[in-house]
C-alpha cells in the first residue's frame, strides 16, 4: 500500500473502435494505460463488458493498481441522468443497458458511468482549456460531433442525461441524410466524416483542384482520411485548406447558434479533427463572429482547441470518478 492509496482512479473510454483505459492521478496525469478493440456492435453487451473488466483487471494488477480508489467509464452514447444505464449507443449493442450494476458485480470499486464528451469537458475544466471558467461548451469533432455543457461549474445533463447532442441539431432543412435518421444535421457539415466525404467527392470527380489529394490517396478516393487532408493543408495544398475551412465555417455557424442558447464563456473544440488547429478554428472564429446574434452589444465567447488531446475521454472518465469519490463531483451522480 502506498501513500497514494485510493487517490488514483481508472478511466475507461469506450469509443466506436477501441476501449482505452488508464490509471490517472489527481492532477490528470496518466500513470499507466492499456487498450482493447471495441467488440463489434453485433456482439452481445456482455462481450463489451468483458473487454471493460479485462482492462480494469489488467490495470489493477499493475504497479499502480493498489492506489486505485474508483473507476470511471466514459461511453459514446446516451447515459441516463443518474449514471446507471446506457440508454442508447449508436456504435455499440447497448439499449437501456444497466452498465453500472453489471460492472459493480464484477469490479470491487465505486463505479461512475458518463457520456464521453461529458468526461472530456470535465477533464478540460479540471486540467485543461476550460480551467478558468464555470461556463463552457465542449465540441468534439470526430466522425460526428459530440458535445457537453458546463453551467455554473456543473455538467448540464438534462432531464434524462441526453443533453449535448449538438451534432443532431438541424442546420440545413431537407439537407444531407444523417445516421440518426434525420436530414441536415450539423455533423453532416462539420465533422471528420463531412471532411472526408467532401474530399472524396472532389477526388472522385477528378477535379484539377484535387491533384495533390489524389496523389496522397494513391489514386483511390477510398484511401483518403482526415489526417491526410490536414497534412496536405499543412503542406500548403490549397484545396485541403479550403475543405478544412468549410468544416470550420459550419463549426462557427453552429457555435453561434449554441452561443445564442447557452451563452458560454469559452468553446473548447476537441476530437480528431481539432488536430488541424487554426486551419479549422480560424474559419470557425470568423463565421462565429459574423453570425453571433447581438454581436457588438455583448461579450463574445472564446474558441480554443482542447488541450488534453485524444486522451481527454480517458482522463475525463477518471476525473469524474475521482470527483465523485472526493464528494466534489460535477453533480450528484452516486458513485
Check if the beta carbon of residue 282 is closer than 8 Å to that of residue 248. Answer: yes
Q: Which of 132, 159, 236, 328 binds its own copies (CB under 8 A)?
A: 159
**Residue 304 binds its own copies, judged by CB under 8 A:** no
* Separation CA 302–CA 132 (nearest Å): 12
Cell numbers standing for residue 328: 466534489
Specify the stretch interacting with its own copies by CB under 8 A; choose among 14-22, 123-131, 157-165, 269-277: 157-165
By CB under 8 A, the count of residues binding its own copies is 53
Q: Which of 41, 135, 197, 234 binds its own copies (CB under 8 A)?
A: 135
* Separation CA 181–CA 146 (nearest Å): 17
**Residue 248 binds its own copies, judged by CB under 8 A:** no
Beta carbon nearer to its own copies, 238 or 298: 298
What is the SS3 assignment for 137? strand
**Residue 91 binds its own copies, judged by CB under 8 A:** no
Q: Which of 154, 227, 234, 286 binds its own copies (CB under 8 A)?
A: 154
**Contact set for its own copies, span 21-80 (CB under 8 A):** 78
Closest separation in Å from C-beta 286 to its own copies? 15
Quickly count: other Cβ atoms within 10 Å of residue 297's Cβ: 6
Radius of gyration of the chain (CA): 20
Could you give the strand order of the β-sheet that contains 266-270, starting from the edge strand earlier in sequence? Answer: 154-155, 145-151, 136-141, 266-270, 302-305
Closest separation in Å from C-beta 115 to its own copies? 11
What are the backbone angles phi and psi of residue 23, rounded to the nearest 5°? -90, 130
* Separation CA 327–CA 171 (nearest Å): 39
**Contact set for its own copies, span 171-230 (CB under 8 A):** 171-173, 180-182, 185
Q: Which of 18, 40, 177, 295 binds its own copies (CB under 8 A)?
A: 295
Beta carbon nearer to its own copies, 62 or 184: 184
* Separation CA 224–CA 263 (nearest Å): 37
Sign of CA dihedral 325, 326, 329, 333: positive
Quickly count: other Cβ atoms within 10 Å of residue 5's Cβ: 11
Check if the beta carbon of residue 116 is closer than 8 Å to that of residue 11. Answer: no
Specify the stretch interacting with its own copies by CB under 8 A; choose among 106-114, 153-161, 310-318, 320-328: 153-161
| Site residues (vs its own copies, CB under 8 A) | 78, 87-88, 95, 133-135, 147, 149, 151-152, 154, 156-173, 180-182, 185, 253, 256-258, 260-265, 291, 293-295, 297-299, 301, 331
Amino acid at each position: 500500500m502506498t501513500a497514494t492509496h485510493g487517490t488514483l482512479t481508472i478511466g475507461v473510454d469506450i469509443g466506436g473502435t477501441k476501449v482505452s483505459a488508464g490509471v490517472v492521478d489527481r492532477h490528470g496525469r496518466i500513470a499507466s494505460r492499456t487498450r482493447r478493440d471495441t467488440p463489434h456492435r453485433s456482439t452481445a453487451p456482455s462481450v463489451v463488458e468483458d473487454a471493460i473488466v479485462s482492462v480494469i483487471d489488467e490495470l489493477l494488477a499493475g504497479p499502480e493498481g493498489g492506489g486505485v480508489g474508483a473507476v470511471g467509464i466514459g461511453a459514446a452514447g446516451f447515459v441516463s441522468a443518474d449514471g446507471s444505464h446506457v440508454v442508447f449507443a449508436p456504435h455499440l449493442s447497448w439499449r437501456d443497458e444497466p452498465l453500472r450494476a453489471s460492472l459493480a458485480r464484477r469490479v470491487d470499486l465505486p463505479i461512475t458511468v458518463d457520456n464521453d464528451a461529458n468526461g472530456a469537458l470535465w477533464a478540460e475544466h479540471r486540467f485543461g482549456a476550460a480551467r478558468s471558467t464555470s461556463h463552457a461548451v465542449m465540441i468534439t469533432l470526430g466522425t460526428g460531433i459530440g458535445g457537453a455543457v458546463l453551467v455554473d461549474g456543473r455538467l448540464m445533463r438534462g432531464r434524462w442525461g441526453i443533453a449535448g447532442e449538438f451534432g443532431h441539431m438541424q442546420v440545413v432543412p431537407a439537407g444531407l441524410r444523417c445516421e440518426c435518421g434525420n436530414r441536415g444535421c450539423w455533423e453532416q457539415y462539420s465533422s471528420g466524416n463531412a471532411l472526408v466525404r467532401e474530399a472524396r467527392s472532389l477526388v472522385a470527380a477528378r477535379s484539377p483542384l484535387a491533384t495533390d489529394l489524389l496523389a496522397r490517396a494513391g489514386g483511390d478516393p477510398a484511401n483518403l482520411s482526415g489526417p491526410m487532408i490536414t497534412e496536405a493543408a499543412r503542406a500548403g495544398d490549397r484545396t485541403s485548406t479550403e475543405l478544412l475551412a468549410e468544416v470550420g465555417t459550419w463549426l462557427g455557424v453552429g457555435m453561434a447558434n449554441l452561443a445564442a442558447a447557452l451563452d458560454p464563456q469559452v468553446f473548447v473544440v476537441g476530437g480528431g479533427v481539432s488536430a488541424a488547429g487554426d486551419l479549422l478554428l480560424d474559419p470557425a472564429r470568423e463565421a462565429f463572429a459574423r453570425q453571433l446574434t447581438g454581436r457588438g452589444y455583448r461579450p463574445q465567447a472564446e474558441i480554443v482547441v482542447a488541450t488534453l488531446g485524444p486522451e481527454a475521454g480517458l482522463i475525463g472518465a477518471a476525473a469524474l470518478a475521482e470527483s465523485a469519490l472526493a464528494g466534489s463531483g460535477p453533480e450528484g451522480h452516486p458513485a
